[in-house]
Every structure is written in structure tokens, then in C-alpha cells.
Structure 1
Amino acid sequence: MNMHARLSAFEAAQKFVEERFPDCGAALLAGSVTRGEATETSDLDIVIFDKDIPSAYRESVIAFGWPIEVFVHNLQSYQLFFESDVKRARPSLPRMVAEGTVIKKSDYLPKLINEAKRIIELGPEVWTKKEIELKRYFITATLDDFIGSNNDAEELFIAGTLAEQLQEFVLRTNKRWVGKSKWVVRELKHYDPVFSGKFVEAFSQYYRNGNKEIVVEMTERVLEPFGGRLFDGFTVK
């Protein structure tokens, strides 16, 4: 896609809202284009607020030379999504609203933006002791599979599972939001750039040359402050 032969992100977003949602109450442009992180394949994330729609919905379209993801909410549905995002510890909608660039203003939009910013700043709910023990148990089981495996094909996916479990454990035990896909590294960097670098390097070493030791050592260091590996005596009721 030729980024020089189409409208700018903001111009495209403005025209899209004017054409498709002329009567909406408010609109924001969010995502990578507003953070200066856009690539050749980036899309436009547009959040629409319209008090008259019966329920929230999401739609994907191509318009004005851009792939566009539009998230449409009324003044009740966005609150449900905010709550759901907090529970899963991935604040997708709050982040879009908090970081978005205003396309169309309204009297209530500043309140929504401030609400989203407060959510981002507060972070997710603190894990209970029982939740931490459960996660330790599953990380221990995956780590044992990783150490004991002699099947290269299986190890690739065990390592992926371990990385996913480990980033969640590190972030949640430090009351940080978790990520998915590219947001794993982004959230780790937000938490601790030094640890993020070590995390990436450990798994990169494994995928490049099969070195398990650095991954095992890092996993054990992460678990150590919480009691280390957990198997003997673990129960689920």
C-alpha cells in the first residue's frame, strides 16, 4: 500500500466520520498512527460515541485509502467494555480513548477521556495469593515440560506458552497491564525496559540456538520472590 498516495491518517479519519457517522456525538482517532508508530500495514482505529445506537459494534472497512477498524459505542456500552477490559487486564478501549486524537468534540467527551486515563493510571486489580499460587503451578508445569522435552517441534510451542505465562506473571504481580501479540513487549518495556530486554534475549537465544538454560534461569528468578516453583502440596478446591 502506497502511504504517499492517500490522505493523511487524520484527514482520512475526519472524512470517514463525516461520511459514515455524521450524526455521532463524538469521535476519536486512536492506535499506532496517533503514537507515531504506524507502519505500511497499519490501520486506523476510530472510536465513535453515539447515544442513539442500541448496542456496541465493531466494523472493518477500507475507505480513503486506509484499512479502518471502527468501534461504535453508546453512552452505556463503553462502560461495560471498560469494566471487561479491566477484568482481563488488557485495557484496549480505555487506552484508545485515553490516547486518542479528537476528531469530533462533544460536551461529554472530556469526562470519558478522563475516566479512561484514570483506569490506565490505576492499573489492573491486584492478584490474590490464590491466583498467584495457581499461576506458579501452571508455570512450573510448563517449565518442567520445557526442560524435559527432547522433541524440537513440541518445544517451540512449549516455549511460546511459557513466554505467555511468564510475561503475564511478571506484569500482574507488579500491578501492570498485560499485553497480547506486539503488546507483550510494549507492556514489558513500560514496566521495566531492562527486564524486557533480558526477557526478549532469553527467548531469542532459545529460538536461535536451542539454549534452554537462560530461559530456565530467568523463569526461576521470576518465581523466587513468590516461593519458587510450585507442585508439591498444591490443591485446587
Structure 2
Amino acid sequence: IRLGRGFNGIETSGTTVTAGAAALDAHVARKAAAAGVDLTFLRTIPGSIGGAVRMNAGCYGTYVADHLRDVQVVLRDGRLVTLSPAALELAYRRSTLPPGAVIVSATFTGPEGAPEALEARMADQLAKRDATQPTKDRTAGSTFRNPAGFSSTGKADDTHEMKAWKLIDDAGMRGAREGGAVMSEKHSNFLTNAENASAADLENLGEMIRKKVYETSGVTLEWEIMRVGEPAPEEAGG
């Protein structure tokens, strides 16, 4: 389900921000900052609020779970209900929603901050992201969850031993290619569509990466990208 314009509103009141599920994370961060509310962690996260809540998105050590007050969902029987963060059982890149539920909006709280300082922080975060990630390439964001169970903090004392990119590097798979799909040379946990890659190219390369990482480290990488559908069956005789 793709929610349209009726679900992309953003409202602020004091230190509270309510955003429709279709609102872009970056837009929410900027509107919150303009109102003096610090939700700057959302600025560099691609996608919309519905996906951010569903995946408990986060970066630089801050997650949706740290600021979510409640979420409004429509159940399969048509009821509109409000769920607390506890009901969602938010964890690293995970949440628990009722079967078939659709997130329609979410309400966050954040600390107060001077708009100018929050804008400067977001500019710094964007510069850091652009320097380390293939932001100009066609990707779906980070490909695999970090086995460490947390995202990079961006701080000097951050550890990388069980980060997906480090395991991929150690397996010699940075820059690996399958058809039009390439594991980014700039950041090896970004699966990129470099040359009109098919879905099969992308998924096959991802599975190749998972197999090689398991062979070299004994760790099974979990997909962070939510894939829809099933792989096409091989053609007869193929």
C-alpha cells in the first residue's frame, strides 16, 4: 500500500511532532527543527515515517524508539487504533504490528533546541553521510542488518567488529558484481543498481554475499531490506 498526499501532513505543538506515514523522514526532521524540536536523526534516513516506525529506523546512535510517543494504525477490520511503543516491541530494525495493520501516522517528542543549531547539526550529518555512503547511486539503503545489533554511532569509540560492512569487506566482497548489481565500493553494505540490474541480479548478489560471509566468518547476515514477493522459479532446463 502506498499512501498519498492525504497522509503526508506534519504538525508541531510544543515539543510534540505528529507526522503522516507518507511524510518523508527528512521533511519531518526539518519541520521539527524549524519549530525548535530535535528530531535531527531523521534527516539522513531515506524513506517515509511509516517505514521508519516499522523498521525502528535510526542513525548515529538514535532510533525511532527513543522519540516515538504513539502510532496510529488501521487494522484489517477498518478500526483506527493508537498503539504505544511498548505494544510495537521496537528493537533493532524490528517492530511488531498486528497482522495486516497499516501505519497512518505517528507522534514523536523531542528535546528543545535552537533552530539554527539543529539546522547546522543536520548539515553536518548530511556531509558525513555523503562522504561515506553512495547517496548518488540507486540503492535501497543498508542491505543487511548489523549482527552487532546496533547502527553506527559516528563517534570515535564506535566498534566495527560485527558490522555488516566489515564482515563483507573481510569476505572480500566489496565491489562484487552480479549482472547489473554491484556491492558498492564506497560502502560495502549498499547493494546498488549500477547497470539496469534485474531483481534477480540484486537478490542473487545479496545471497552470494551472505554465503561468502558465512564461509569466512560463520556469521549469517540478515536482510535489512524488506523484499516483496518470491524469487521467480528457474526456467525448465535452466
TM-score under structure 1 normalisation? 0.29
| Larger radius of gyration between Structure 1 and Structure 2 | 1
Q: Which has the higher helix share?
A: 1
TM-score, length of structure 2 as denominator length = 0.29
